[in-house]
Amino acid sequence: MNPADTNQDCSAKIDASCRVPLLVLFNGAALWLVLGLALSLFASLTFHAPEQFSCCPYMTYGHAVAAASDLLVYGFVIPAALGVMLWIFARLSQDKLELPLVVFLAGHLWHLGVFVGTVGILTGHSTGYQWLEYPRAADALLGVAFVLIAISAFATFGLRKERELYPSHWFLLAALLVFPWIYSSANVFIVTNHPVRGVGQAVINWWFANNLIFVWLALAGLGIAFYFLPKIANRPLHSRFWALFAFWTLLLFGTWLGIPAGAPVPAWLPAASQFASLLMIVPIVATAVILKNILWGANVKCFGGTYCYIRFGSVMFVVSALMLVAAGCPDFSRTVEFTWFGTAQAQLQILGFATMILAGAIYEIIPRTMGTALPFEKFKTLQFFASVLGVLLLVISLAVAGIAQGKSNFASGAGKIALMVSTTGWLFLLLGSLSLLLNILVMTMKWKLGLAKSAWAAITAPLADSEVKS
């Protein structure tokens, strides 16, 4: 047996150890993605027919859009990112996933939390804080589930056979550390019975929102991209120094963004945010340099394959971060503050960057952990093009609507045409996401069927001669 075979054998074992926990995380995530996009589409239809749902409270814009945004982030992005992280950790450790049963249970807990939270928002039990709308019961479930999954990830990392630390490690480990901190802080300070008094609530809410949507997604998404891109392009990440620089500066400056310039809070808070958004140019440039070094001249043919997904996603990160910096510039912020531009940036971060990278990674991982090819390989390509079209339509139309609003000083009906166009963006994204759900569901069904068949075969098999009493 030559060394290469051993390696493949070993990889197959690692992949198999991830199979069940990852199925739990990815199955739920794919379902929530479809539901989240469908709800977003429903919410967006309000701009075409505002009288819809006037009979029943559960689906009006305020309910639907909050539930939809949380489904995209808590339902899809976080569990999908956790699943991909676990697999990357196991692969980089050259060892099996530790505590798979814990992840199996925690995955179910997480999805239960998302379900409880979504029902809570739709029935009017939202907390009223953006990105923290889930009622407390759901928050507790999500918090516990995250910590359990992180324990498995840390165990896999701590017991790694390959001791070297890669840039992916830094970003993903940091993501595992950041979430419990910001989530528990935000919950303790504002979601409890006795929240902080007055606008302190809003400040903490903005801090959390920025650290979740910008920093956490950046850490998870870039960590995953920095694993797959060099691997698929078959060239090293160039360079480790740039990655270290981007990592530190992202954490140092990125965590200070998020307080709007005109907010009714002590002036030093928005000033600190504006200054930090200026400094954010540093990690953005560093990330762009790393991406340029990997992507330019890489000889990879991918027609809607994983590499395409992750390449598009990483480039969209740079664009979304630049939009964030632009929105922090005094003059431009005056125009786009409180407009759809902010929504455009957040959705680019969530759907253009994180979701694209995660979908690409899941398509790469799932066939390996299941040991079979994708049932609908072509749908993967279709999803890529539908999602790219959807993201561009959505983000450009929302940004245009935002600028129209700002330029006209919020005249009634400003940017309405652009908002109507954004609906088509949601439609394409929804159609694309069906492919992921279909692929994962069919694979899971086939696998379960296979298990049942082999169990049945084992039961009905004739006894071996040695077992039969003569």
Partner 1 sequence: MKSGFGVFFAVAVTLSLSWLGFVVAPAVQLGSAKQTTVLISGDTWPQQRTGEATLGQQIYRANGCVACHTTQMRQDGIICDVVLAKPGKNPVAVTNLLSTLKLSGLTKDQADEVSQQISDKGGTAETHISATGPDIKNDWGVRRSVAADFLYDAPVQLGNLRAGPDLANIGARSASSLLMQHLYAPRSINQASTMPSYKFLFDVQKIGDAPSPDALKDLPKDAAPADGFEVVPKPEAKQLVAYLLSLHADVPLYEAPFTPAAPKP
Question: Measured from the CB atom, is 62 or 375 closer to partner 1?
Answer: 62
In the window 220-259, what residues touch partner 1 (CB under 8 A)? 244, 247-248, 251-252, 255-256, 258-259
Please choose, from the candidates 283, 285, 300, 168, the residue with its C-alpha nearest in 3D space to the C-alpha of residue 226.
168
Question: Measured from the CB atom, is 168 or 435 closer to partner 1?
Answer: 168
Question: Measured from the CB atom, is 207 or 379 closer to partner 1?
Answer: 207
Please choose, from the candidates 344, 354, 296, the residue with its C-alpha nearest in 3D space to the C-alpha of residue 324.
344
Q: Is 63 in the site for partner 1 (CB under 8 A)?
A: yes
Options 189-197, 290-298, 310-318, 362-370: segment touching partner 1 (CB under 8 A): 189-197
Question: Measured from the CB atom, is 43 or 362 closer to partner 1?
Answer: 43
- Look at residue 371 and give its three-state secondary structure: coil
Question: Measured from the CB atom, is 5 or 164 closer to partner 1?
Answer: 164
Q: Shortest distance, CB of residue 403 to partner 1, whole angstroms?
A: 13
In angstroms, rounded to a whole number, what is the distance separating the alpha carbons of residues 2 and 139? 50
Please choose, from the candidates 37, 93, 92, the residue with its C-alpha nearest in 3D space to the C-alpha of residue 69.
37
Read off the DSSP letter of residue 464. Answer: P
Place of tokens 């992202």: 250
Q: Is 81 in the site for partner 1 (CB under 8 A)?
A: no
In angstroms, rounded to a whole number, what is the distance separating the alpha carbons of residues 419 and 441? 33
Q: Where are the beta strands (DSSP E) in 104-194?
A: none
Using CB under 8 A, count the residues that bind partner 1: 82
Question: Measured from the CB atom, is 143 or 432 closer to partner 1?
Answer: 143
Q: Is 329 in the site for partner 1 (CB under 8 A)?
A: no
Binding residue for partner 1, selected from 27, 156, 211, 314, defined by CB under 8 A: 211
Q: Shortest distance, CB of residue 212 to partner 1, whole angstroms?
A: 12
Identify whether the C-beta of residue 70 lies closer than 8 Å to the C-beta of residue 117. Answer: yes
Q: Is 343 in the site for partner 1 (CB under 8 A)?
A: yes
Identify whether the C-beta of residue 442 lies closer than 8 Å to the C-beta of residue 26. Answer: no
Question: Measured from the CB atom, is 19 or 136 closer to partner 1?
Answer: 136
Binding residue for partner 1, selected from 10, 11, 20, 62, defined by CB under 8 A: 62
| Cβ neighbours, 10 Å, residue 238 | 14
Q: Which two tokens stand for residue 183?
A: 């989530």
Close Cβ partners of 458 (under 8 Å, ≥ 6 residues apart): none
Q: Is 180 in the site for partner 1 (CB under 8 A)?
A: no
Q: Which two tokens stand for residue 252?
A: 């140092």
Q: Is 199 in the site for partner 1 (CB under 8 A)?
A: yes
In angstroms, rounded to a whole number, what is the distance separating the alpha carbons of residues 28 and 283? 33
Q: Shortest distance, CB of residue 178 to partner 1, whole angstroms?
A: 6
Q: Is 422 in the site for partner 1 (CB under 8 A)?
A: no
Q: Shortest distance, CB of residue 65 to partner 1, whole angstroms?
A: 5
Question: Measured from the CB atom, is 58 or 456 closer to partner 1?
Answer: 58
Binding residue for partner 1, selected from 152, 293, 405, 422, defined by CB under 8 A: 405
CA 22 to chain centre: 15
Q: Is 271 in the site for partner 1 (CB under 8 A)?
A: no
Options 169-177, 278-286, 355-363, 371-379: segment touching partner 1 (CB under 8 A): 169-177
Q: Is 50 in the site for partner 1 (CB under 8 A)?
A: yes
Binding residue for partner 1, selected from 12, 101, 159, 272, defined by CB under 8 A: 272
Q: Is 269 in the site for partner 1 (CB under 8 A)?
A: yes
Question: Measured from the CB atom, is 110 or 253 closer to partner 1?
Answer: 253
In the window 109-148, what residues touch partner 1 (CB under 8 A)? 121, 124-130
DSSP for 17-71, written as a single string: HHHHHHHHHHHHHHHHHHHHHHHHHHHHGGGT-TTTT-S-GGGSHHHHHHHHHHI
Please choose, from the candidates 327, 338, 328, the residue with its C-alpha nearest in 3D space to the C-alpha of residue 409.
338
CA 316 to chain centre: 14
Q: Shortest distance, CB of residue 304 to partner 1, whole angstroms?
A: 34
Binding residue for partner 1, selected from 338, 446, 449, 453, defined by CB under 8 A: 338
Q: How far is CA 416 from CA 49, 55, 243, 339, in A?
A: 12, 24, 42, 12
